[in-house]
Structure 1
Amino acid sequence: MKPIADQDEVIRQLDWNLLRTFMFVVQDGSITLAAKRLMRRQPSVSQALQRLEAQIGTVLIDRSPSHFRVTPAGQALYQECLETFGSLARAIQTAQGTEDTVTGTVRLALLSRVENAFFDDVLAEFHRQFPEVQFDIEVMSSKGVREAVLAKTASLGVCLVNDAQPNLETDILYRTYFGFYCGPSHPLFGKDSLSLDDLRDHTSVSFRTDHLWDALRPVALLRAQHKLDNMVIGYTSDLDEARRMITAGLGFGPLPVHIAEKHVATGKLWRLPPYENSLAIDIHLVHHRTARLSRAESALLNLFQTRLNATSLAERSNTPDLDN
């Protein structure tokens, strides 16, 4: 840790972009994923983290090719960064919202591959009503979405929710259905009339939220009941990366049916049991309970809530055709 006398100098010389990069790395739990979201090369993100640690004088993330852990100092700095960047974002939005016309920027944090007609329709309707409002949309893990909303760096979020949090207001935006799939090189590819027991001795891939205590609990529960969780060979928070691993033959794994069936039609994936769409997962719209919203943010939140109240869950959900 830097001596107290040096702290003023550190603050004067500190590059705030290093702090922002550090926040992304912590939220994604990976330098590689953070680089992807920042649209930068992995070495530059790694170097930025090294520069920040050198300037502050302490290790923020204990990392190696097989290990990633945020240190207590890193966790403390991360929480302060969330508060600081959140306060700055709120100040800018307040300044932007003083004109008669509704303007400014609405920041949305979304989990990967939010493909939902209801959500798209609400955004389209909002743009027709308030064409001067700009959008800043970031894709991150569900944990990252929740933290961004709680830190007030995102106006609204769309994510999985595993349990209630005091300052987080949640509404079910839509319901989607998961199924198990494998790729062309998998031994079960092309086979019909399989049972869940047929999957038992095969490797699999999974999402980091695929745990009994987390947001993909129905998937984890099915795995546990049929002893399918003993040979997990790959984890990810990104839907496209999960599909990549499954298609590449690393193992079978869960995917949203409405997305995966498009790839089944082209011969890149194969549906495995359970064949009925019983693994229902709710995707939530989240916002901060006590955040002071700009006029643009309030207008969008009010529109979402009005449309949610007027549209049934079945109408706004991703219900596969084969679920009828």
Structure 2
Amino acid sequence: MITDPDNKFAFQLDWNLLRTFLVIAEEQSITRAAHRLLRGQPAVSLALKRLETELDCRLVERGKGEFRLTSAGRRLYSEAGALFHGVSQLPDSLGQARNELSGDVRILVASHVITPLLDRQLTHFAQHHPKVRFSIRVETSGNVIQEVRERQASLGICLVNRQLPDLEYMHMYREFFGFFCGRTNPLFGREGLKMDDLRDHPFVAFDTEEIDNALRQIVILRNDWGLTREVTGRSSQLEEVRRMVMCGMGIGAFPVHVVQNDVERGLLWRLPPYEAPPAVDIFLIVNPRKHMNRAEDKFVGDLMRAIRKTPLDERTYLA
């Protein structure tokens, strides 16, 4: 029984220690956690030590310039995060008898996710369920998957390299990547270019542009054409890759529909291949083990139904 008085750990644990640990894990720093909690750094360090003593395991490896959660720390972060999320939803759960839908929906997206499927769903909820609160955060695709896996998000939308058995995936839309350069690049404004013309130019890349990652098709294309010159810049964020390309640091690969406005404004120039560019699929990801509140359940369910009702060709952004 949950209320069994013999369960001394549950009855004696100071739950404030768990909250302090969650903030430490989220901030990846004792100092930043203390600032966020409005407490002194020694008090936060002592709270972490007390929790480690009560659990009889090390939760954080810390030293000169190093801060990382141990495997036990990552497990506790996942479980405690789910616990506190459940507690935060109690007011909404207890008020389910009311007709008005409320609750928090936390969405994690890769940096270049642009689709009317998501926008229409957000518009509908804003109009019909004004009490629902949304949090949308941009992360790398790897972090999106990890946080959905740890039940820290309602849903994720991102690129997928391989599908994990404990998550549910739905093909949301397909986009095509093209190569682009900025105005100071010598290729800017030139018509009739060939792939060979790109060989002597450096590249700016996403962190996920690796042969074993979600953007492997771009890497394969570059390798096939010998476009293996040094990468002069990297970022996980589309905006920063775009900035470096526009500043003339090198050629970059972007979803064609996302940067179309930049091309029309003369800020970027489309480079080959003009035909059969790399296709990349974007997925909606949910964790079936996550206990969802009413708002999350309805939002995810409605979005999935909208995806199913929309033919793939209407969810494909042409190159």
- Decide: shared fold, TM above 0.5: yes
SS in 2 for 1:259: coil
Q: Name the structure 1 match of 2:266.
A: 267
Q: Which has the larger radius of gyration?
A: 2
Q: Give the conservation status (yes or no) of the 8 Å contact 2:117–2:307.
A: no
Q: In structure 1, how many angstroms separate the alpha carbons of the residues matched to 2:70 and 2:259?
A: 38
Q: 1:18 aligned to 5, 24, 31, which one?
A: 24
Task: Report deviation, 1:136.
Answer: 1.5
Letter in 2 for 1:304: L
| 1:309 counterpart = 2:315 | no
Q: In structure 2, how many angstroms separate the alpha carbons of the residues matched to 1:60 and 1:299?
A: 41
Q: Give the conservation status (yes or no) of the 8 Å contact 2:22–2:80.
A: no
Q: Name the structure 2 match of 1:171.
A: 170
TM-score by length of 2: 0.79
Percent identity for Structure 1 against Structure 2: 33
SS in 2 for 1:115: coil
SS in 1 for 2:184: coil
| 1:110 counterpart = 2:112 | no
Q: In structure 2, how many angstroms separate the alpha carbons of the residues matched to 1:255 and 1:84?
A: 38
Task: Report deviation, 1:15.
Answer: 6.6
Q: Where in structure 2 are the equivalents of 1:268-283 lying within 5 Å?
A: 268-283=267-282
User: Residue 281 and residue 61 in structure 1: after superposition, are their counterparts in 2 closer, same or farther (change >3 A)?
Assistant: farther
User: Residue 177 and residue 62 in structure 1: after superposition, are their counterparts in 2 closer, same or farther (change >3 A)?
Assistant: farther
User: Residue 70 and residue 256 in structure 1: after superposition, are their counterparts in 2 closer, same or farther (change >3 A)?
Assistant: farther
Task: Report deviation, 1:281.
Answer: 0.9
User: Residue 19 and residue 269 in structure 1: after superposition, are their counterparts in 2 closer, same or farther (change >3 A)?
Assistant: same
Q: In structure 2, how many angstroms separate the alpha carbons of the residues matched to 1:263 and 1:302?
A: 34
User: Residue 277 and residue 44 in structure 1: after superposition, are their counterparts in 2 closer, same or farther (change >3 A)?
Assistant: farther
| 1:196 counterpart = 2:186 | no
| 1:89 counterpart = 2:85 | yes
Q: Where in structure 2 are the equivalents of 1:183-222 lying within 5 Å?
A: 183-222=182-221
Task: Report deviation, 1:92.
Answer: 2.1
For structure 1, which segment, 52-61 or 14-23, has the greater mean C-alpha deviation from structure 2 after superposition? 52-61
Q: Name the structure 2 match of 1:235.
A: 234
SS in 2 for 1:182: strand
SS in 1 for 2:257: helix
SS in 1 for 2:89: helix
User: Residue 305 and residue 87 in structure 1: after superposition, are their counterparts in 2 closer, same or farther (change >3 A)?
Assistant: same
SS in 1 for 2:274: coil
User: Residue 54 and residue 272 in structure 1: after superposition, are their counterparts in 2 closer, same or farther (change >3 A)?
Assistant: farther
**Two-structure CA RMSD over aligned residues (Å):** 3.0
Q: In structure 2, how many angstroms separate the alpha carbons of the residues matched to 1:271 and 1:226?
A: 17
SS in 1 for 2:259: helix
User: Residue 301 and residue 94 in structure 1: after superposition, are their counterparts in 2 closer, same or farther (change >3 A)?
Assistant: farther
User: Residue 110 and residue 61 in structure 1: after superposition, are their counterparts in 2 closer, same or farther (change >3 A)?
Assistant: farther
Task: Report deviation, 1:75.
Answer: 5.6
Unaligned runs of 5+ in 1: 1-7, 24-42, 64-68
Unaligned runs of 5+ in 2: 1-13, 50-59
